[in-house]
Amino acid sequence: MEQTLTHSTVQTEIFTKIDHFRRYLNQRILGQSDLIDRLLIAILCDGHLLVEGAPGLAKTKSIRELASGLEAHFKRIQFTPDLLPGDITGTEIYRPDRGTFDFQKGPIFNHFILADEINRAPAKVQSALLEAMAERQVSIGNTTYPLPDLFLVMATQNPIEQEGTYPLPEAELDRFLLYVKMDYPSAEYESKIVELARSEALHKNPFYLHKPEMIQQKTLFTAREQVLNLHMSPALLQYIVELVIATRKPERYGNDIKQWIRYGASPRASIALDRAARARAWLQAREYVTPEDIQAIAYDVLRHRIILSYTALAEGLTTDDVIKTIISRVAIP
């Protein structure tokens, strides 16, 4: 007799596939489990992420390895001051034999895009990327071309070299679901990284690196539905709203916070925090969201959506310091 799969069984099978892939990525990208989790959260939330970290922290390798295990195409774009919008979106090419123009699609039409050092490109290029991220489409002349249903932009910034860069406008920053800051791996992980690099140079993968079966796009789309249907109590939803409103009306939680914040987060922050907290809970194999899920992801959701005042900058505060203070003062339900 053929077994009928229940909703619970399907949910467990999909989680098992993604969790297995997550463990594989943590074996390939050592010491950067937070980045891997954020990448998976971005996929589950149908969002984009901005990553800031020094060179050599496996940012490119992370998204390349991610794409290799999914039914997806990956493209890396190196952003430079001489980059043109057409280098990203594509351009119309004249065909003299037919006397017509044909549109040649650019790298933006892939599923996963690495916008490397995005702040080195001028405003016109950034605006082209903004339309793709926000509207999931590309406009060339009078024609609009849709982008794939599975579409993720991972943009990187180098915190060390800021000369010759173009700061991202607030409208573009707000389109990123998460803003992730990477740190150097520990000494323990660094020794393992050296061993892994040597094994790869010898074309010898360690015995434990067994690549899992490729995950199909329909599996990811079903996982997204499961994340959206994850249980969140009305009290926790109100907690999310209070955290975001605290950035816009900080006087409720102390004059010091009021002096620190120039502009607060938009309603996109509430939407992002809701979805990202659900995705984090799902990756933890839970069917419900906890306050810890909200607090853990709040930094990545809010740090690029809060503009600090000159007072805060003069005191040497960062957005993370302000977020930490807000979390400590907003009552947990």
**DSSP H/E element including 153:** strand 152-157
**DSSP H/E element including 133:** helix 123-135
| 221 assigned to some structural domain | no
Q: Which amino acid is at 128?
A: A
Number of domains in the chain: 2
Q: Residue 142 above 70 pLDDT? A: yes
Neighbours of 176 (CB within 10 A): 25
pLDDT tens sequence across 23-56? 999 988 989 999 999 999 999 999 999 999 888 8
Same domain, yes or no, for 93 and 152?
A: yes
The two three-digit tokens of residue 32, written as one number: 């950067």
Q: Which residue in the block uniquely carries the two structure tokens 């060390």?
A: 160
Q: 178 vs 168, which has greater pLDDT? A: 178
| 224 assigned to some structural domain | no
pLDDT at 103: 83
Q: Residue 98 above 90 pLDDT? A: no
Residues 109, 90: contact at Cβ < 8 Å? yes
Same domain, yes or no, for 241 and 112?
A: no
pLDDT tens sequence across 186-203? 898 899 889 888 888 887
CATH of the domain at 306: 1.10.8.80
Please compute the mean of the pLDDT values over residues 216-239 and round it to a whole number.
95
How deeply is 172 buried, as exposed, middle or buried, from its count of CB atoms within 10 A (0-12, 13-18, 19+)?
buried
Domain of 297 in residue numbering reads as 231-329
Q: Residue 258 above 90 pLDDT? A: yes
Q: Residue 6 above 60 pLDDT? A: no
Q: Residue 213 above 50 pLDDT? A: yes
Q: 158 vs 9, which has greater pLDDT? A: 158
Q: Is 136 left (phi over 0), alpha (psi -120 to 50) or beta?
A: left
Same domain, yes or no, for 195 and 255?
A: no
Same domain, yes or no, for 246 and 165?
A: no
pLDDT at 4: 43
Same domain, yes or no, for 195 and 245?
A: no
What average pLDDT does the structure give for the chain?
A: 89
pLDDT at 200: 80
| Residue-by-residue DSSP string for 5-27 | PPHHHHHHHHHHHHHHHHHHHHH
Same domain, yes or no, for 58 and 164?
A: yes
